[in-house]
Amino acid sequence: MIKTVYSKGKIVAKTGNEVMAEAMRQIEPDVVAAYPITPATEIVQIFSQFVADGIVKSEYVAVESEHSAMSATIAASAAGARAMTGTSSQGLSLMWEMLYIASGLRLPIVMAEVNRAISAPINIHGDQSDTMGARDAGWIQIYSENSQEAYDNMIQATKIAEKAKLPALVTTDGFIISHCMEVVETYPDADVKAFIGEYKPERYLLDVKKPYTLGSIDLQDYYFEHRYQLAQAMRDSQQIILDVAKDFEKTFGRKYDMYEKYKMDDAEIAIVVIGSTAGTAKTVVDDLREKGVKAGLLKIRVYRPFPAEMIAKDLAKVKAVAVMDRADSCSGTFAPVYSDVAAALYAAGITSPKVVNYVYGLGGREINTEHIAEVYETLGKIASGAEKPSAKVEYINVRIK
Amino acid sequence: MSENKKLSAAELPAGDIVEAGTAQDFHTGSWRSNKPVWNKDKCIHCLACWISCPDSSIKIAPDEKKTTVVTGIDYDFCKGCGICAKECPVKIQAITMEVEKK
Amino acid sequence: MSAKMIEVRWHGRGGQGAKTAALLFAEAVLATGKYIQAFPEYGPERMGAPVQSFNRVSEDPITVHSGVTNPDFVVILDPTLIESVAVTEGVGKDGKIIVNTSFSAQEISNQLGIDASQVYVVNASQIAKETIGKDYPNTPLLGALVKVIGNLDINGVLEDTKGKLAVKFRHKPEVIEGNLSSIKRAYDEVKSHG
């Protein structure tokens, strides 16, 4: 039998969506307002069933669009409720205006997000274009490699958001994780509830004893200070995320960090990647290690706030690095994660690693061990000086010519 | 299975344009598990099947008197939903459903 | 990829339960203590259109999340797919194909153009009609797959399936019995050319 990490844990087979809904059931927020969208539909569908069956005491608001979903979630959070929602792709796009309001009002909303390509052309499959587009919206962004991480991240995000007074979204890769049944360890309801604790907002609109105004106009005299507060809150949230991870490990036994280092200690070549592809890449690293190649992997878990100083330190001794983006920026230059990694290295004065950028897997395009092995092969050549690093974005598994 | 060569980014028209008529090449008839069988002798050509068919798979043509009549079933596109058999007048039953070969 | 990992591809038609089969199989195999994955190939849902679903089974945690391209086992729920879909694609010379059919393994191997030793047949539709009362070939094929894979515990699979069905069909015990005996029968009746 498969052993649990936590003494009271239970091994189950669940899809990414099922396990996110399960986390929401255990967290039992006061309000969930959502509008279903593929491939995230099941999360709120299953949760609404919990509400209908009386399994949770949460209020479920079936709204008429994602813009309304985020608006209602904001309203509930402002009123003092623990509020959550779930969406994907076009749904997140329709929330756009309200995403910035959630963070600007410093509301600790938690969103279960399933990464899916952005239209047009219409495509329902997994890539990270949707949340990468929202990377500067003031939301903490936590990405999950698999269903276990999705479950654990949802629980941690609730605590992180409330401590940081920032909204947080937790993602899985569309279909690849959202619809993949895997082995997951879940924890007892009471233990999850004890871990997140009761939500006690300092100020809330329905507190009639201490009335206040929320969301007033802020012109040249105050707007900048408030935006500085927000940016600073994002910077400060890194320590909160690390503290919550430490608590989580102490309670449930699973270790989390801003990112995961896989065989990085003596790595000469490394890939930086986010999400499910990290799991596939780990098998490639294992194969290369058996052949004596010093390959490593750095899997970013928390992309916002971006752990720039930490990453720069951990990549400093690597000879060649490939940053793999499952989103293109259409900026004319590099994709988002590469830009952040390159800036982190430059700011830290680290110039020795050769860093290249690959865009892969848009619209759910296959990315397999052979593709990743080719990237490592190129990195090996760059590290040995046999090949010059590309100065532009390279693409994996796309028909260009 | 149609194994058309997939176009590259350089070959594709910009902006998600697909030329009209591609559904003609996509034979959804292969999805069928039950097939309608049309009995020419029983048919009264009321065209109830033709108007009901969701896949435009009832074939029609003018006869010598220029009256529109049913001429058969287009098995390339018929998905075997059975609506035609259901809509065929009870007293006529010119279309019956049969199991596709297994 | 770890040598111990088994990869399975299911071929069916929309509505036939290829996805459910992969999920049931995964859950049942997890109950015997192995790591599992089950995932469908997704497109717009269309009744009757060819669909695929996949399983991975391993003694160790499974981290790979790419598609299955070289399955060790292929299960075909609907024999009409043999003509229209490349069901043998990526199947190596050690790969095994299980077909729901009334034909013999030799006849199917001729149709598929692969060695008869790789082909297993079971009349899952017939078994389903006789045990469950309807043409649900996916449940009996679970039993056939467990048999052909070889190193899985059929009793563990039956036990887990019984538990799952007991919750779902607590007011219809005959459904539970029918499903379980369909798995047992296909386990016993699946055969190769020998």
Give every CB contact of residue C31 below 8 A, 6+ residues apart in sequence. Answer: C156, C157, C159, C160
- Nearest residue to A275 via CA among A260, A254, A253: A260
pLDDT at residue B4 in the model: 66
Contact yes or no for B1 and C47 at CB 8 A: no
Yes or no: say if C163 and C28 are a contact pair by the CB < 8 Å rule: no
What is the per-residue DSSP string for A249-288?
A: HHHH-----SEEEES-TT-SEEEEEESTHHHHHHHHHHHH
pLDDT at residue C44 in the model: 65
B31 and chain C in contact, CB less than 8 A:
yes
pLDDT digits (tens, 9 = 90+) for C18-59: 999 999 999 999 998 999 999 998 766 677 888 999 999 999
Q: Which of A237, A252, A267 is the last residue of a domain?
A: A252
pLDDT digits (tens, 9 = 90+) for A64-83: 999 999 999 999 999 999 99
Q: How many domains does chain B have?
A: 1
B14 and chain A in contact, CB less than 8 A:
no
User: Rounded mean pLDDT of A354-373?
Assistant: 98
Residue scoring higher pLDDT (C118 or B33): C118
Distance CA B71, CA A162 (A): 70
pLDDT digits (tens, 9 = 90+) for A172-184: 999 999 999 999 9
Distance CA C101, CA A159 (A): 55
* A vs C: CB pairs below 8 A: 69
C84 and chain B in contact, CB less than 8 A:
yes
A275 in the same domain as A161: no
Residue C1 lies in a domain: no
Distance CA A170, CA A324 (A): 20
| A330: number of Cβ within 10 Å | 8
- Phi first, then psi: give them for residue A330, nearest 5 degrees: 50, 35
Contact yes or no for A180 and C33 at CB 8 A: no
Q: Which domain holds residue A352?
A: 259-395
What single DSSP character describes residue A222? T
Answer yes or no: is pLDDT of C1 > 50: no
Q: Which domain holds residue C145?
A: 6-189
Residue A46 lies in a domain: yes
Q: How many domains does chain A have?
A: 2
Can you give the CATH number for the domain in which C22 is found? 3.40.920.10
Residue C171 lies in a domain: yes
B80 and chain C in contact, CB less than 8 A:
yes
Question: What subunits make at least 3 CB pairs under 8 angstroms with A?
Answer: B, C
Residue B14 lies in a domain: no
A234 in the same domain as A96: yes
A398 and chain B in contact, CB less than 8 A:
yes
Residue C194 lies in a domain: no
> Which among A11, A13, A175 is the nearest to C26, CB-wise?
A13
pLDDT at residue C164 in the model: 84
A215 min Cα distance to partner chain C (Å): 42
- Nearest residue to C133 via CA among C102, C178, C167, C80: C178
Beta strands (DSSP E) in A199-258 are: none
Can you give the CATH number for the domain in which B37 is found? 3.30.70.20
Peptide bond into C50 cis (omega under 30): no
> Which among A180, A277, A369 is the nearest to C37, CB-wise?
A180
A297 in the same domain as A244: no
A291 in the same domain as A246: no
B54 class by beta-carbon count within 10 Å (0-12 exposed, 13-18 middle, 19+ buried): exposed
What is the per-residue DSSP string for A362-378?
A: GGG----HHHHHHHHHH
Contact yes or no for B16 and A121 at CB 8 A: yes
A343 and chain C in contact, CB less than 8 A:
no
Contact yes or no for C85 and B1 at CB 8 A: yes
B16 contacts in A (CB within 8 Å)?
120-121
Q: Which of A252, A284, A300 is the last residue of a domain?
A: A252
| B22: number of Cβ within 10 Å | 8
A294 in the same domain as A234: no
B6 contacts in A (CB within 8 Å)?
399
B6 and chain A in contact, CB less than 8 A:
yes
Residue B24 lies in a domain: no
Distance CA B76, CA C153 (A): 44
Residue A122 lies in a domain: yes
C44 contacts in B (CB within 8 Å)?
none
A399 contacts in B (CB within 8 Å)?
6-9
Yes or no: say if B71 and B60 are a contact pair by the CB < 8 Å rule: yes
Can you give the CATH number for the domain in which A99 is found? 3.40.50.970
User: For residue A119, what is the nearest residue in chain B, using CA coordinates?
Assistant: B16
Strand partners, C75: C10, C98
| A255: number of Cβ within 10 Å | 11
- Nearest residue to A182 via CA among C63, C159, C70: C63
Yes or no: say if A33 and A85 are a contact pair by the CB < 8 Å rule: yes
Distance CA A27, CA A20 (A): 10
- Nearest residue to C54 via CA among C78, C29, C97, C22: C22
**C-alpha distances in angstroms, C16 versus C47, C77, C136?**
8, 8, 7
A276 in the same domain as A233: no
3-state secondary structure B49-92: HHHHCCCCCEEEEECCCCCEEEEEECCCCCCCCCHHHHHCCCCC
> Which among A39, A124, A280 is the nearest to C65, CB-wise?
A280
Strand partners, A83: A31
Give every CB contact of residue A307 below 8 A, 6+ residues apart in sequence. Answer: A238, A258, A259, A300
Answer yes or no: is pLDDT of C158 > 60: yes
pLDDT digits (tens, 9 = 90+) for A275-289: 999 999 999 999 999
Distance CA A37, CA C71 (A): 31
Q: How many domains does chain C have?
A: 1
Residue A335 lies in a domain: yes
Residue B22 lies in a domain: no
- Nearest residue to A318 via CA among A289, A288, A297, A349: A297
B54 and chain C in contact, CB less than 8 A:
no
What mean pLDDT, rounded, does chain C reach?
A: 91
Beta strands (DSSP E) in chain C are: 6-13, 35-40, 50-58, 73-76, 96-100, 119-122
Contact yes or no for C80 and B31 at CB 8 A: no
Task: Return the residue matching tokens 């270790």.
Answer: A255
Contact yes or no for A180 and C66 at CB 8 A: no
B101 contacts in C (CB within 8 Å)?
80
Q: Which two tokens stand for residue A328?
A: 């293109």
Residue A5 lies in a domain: no
A282 and chain C in contact, CB less than 8 A:
yes
Q: Which two tokens stand for residue A280?
A: 């596939």
> Which among B6, B9, B16 is the nearest to A400, CB-wise?
B9
Q: Which two tokens stand for residue A91?
A: 């749904």
pLDDT at residue C84 in the model: 83
Residue C46 lies in a domain: yes
Alpha carbons within 13 A on the beta-carbon side of C98: 29
The letter for the amino acid at C75 is V
A399 and chain B in contact, CB less than 8 A:
yes
Residue B49 lies in a domain: yes
3-state secondary structure A227-246: HHHHHHHHHHHHHHHHHHHH
Strand partners, C10: C53, C75
pLDDT at residue B100 in the model: 80
Q: Which of A203, A237, A252 is the last residue of a domain?
A: A252
Strand partners, B99: B34
pLDDT at residue C3 in the model: 57
Strands A269-274 and A83-88, bridge-based pairing: unpaired
A285 in the same domain as A234: no
Residue B71 lies in a domain: yes
> Which among B1, B28, B100 is the nearest to C80, CB-wise?
B100
pLDDT digits (tens, 9 = 90+) for A15-36: 999 999 999 999 999 999 999 9
Contact yes or no for B10 and A401 at CB 8 A: yes
| C162: number of Cβ within 10 Å | 15
Contact yes or no for C48 and B33 at CB 8 A: yes
Q: Which two tokens stand for residue C36?
A: 């599992």
Contact yes or no for C84 and B79 at CB 8 A: no
Residue A247 lies in a domain: yes
pLDDT digits (tens, 9 = 90+) for A95-149: 999 999 999 999 999 999 999 999 999 999 999 999 999 999 999 999 999 999 9
At residue A247, the 3 state secondary structure works out as helix
C11 and chain B in contact, CB less than 8 A:
no
Q: What is the ipTM of this complex?
A: 0.92
pLDDT tens sequence for chain B (102 residues): 345 689 999 999 998 888 899 889 889 898 888 899 999 999 999 999 999 999 999 999 999 999 999 999 999 999 999 999 999 999 999 999 998 865
Can you give the CATH number for the domain in which A266 is found? 3.40.50.920
Residue C147 lies in a domain: yes
What single DSSP character describes residue B24? G
Q: Which domain holds residue B52?
A: 31-99
The letter for the amino acid at C120 is Y
What mean pLDDT, rounded, does chain A reach?
A: 97
Residue A401 lies in a domain: no
Residue A398 φ/ψ region, left for φ over 0, alpha for ψ in the -120 to 50 degree band, beta for the rest: beta
- Nearest residue to A252 via CA among A185, A303, A318: A185
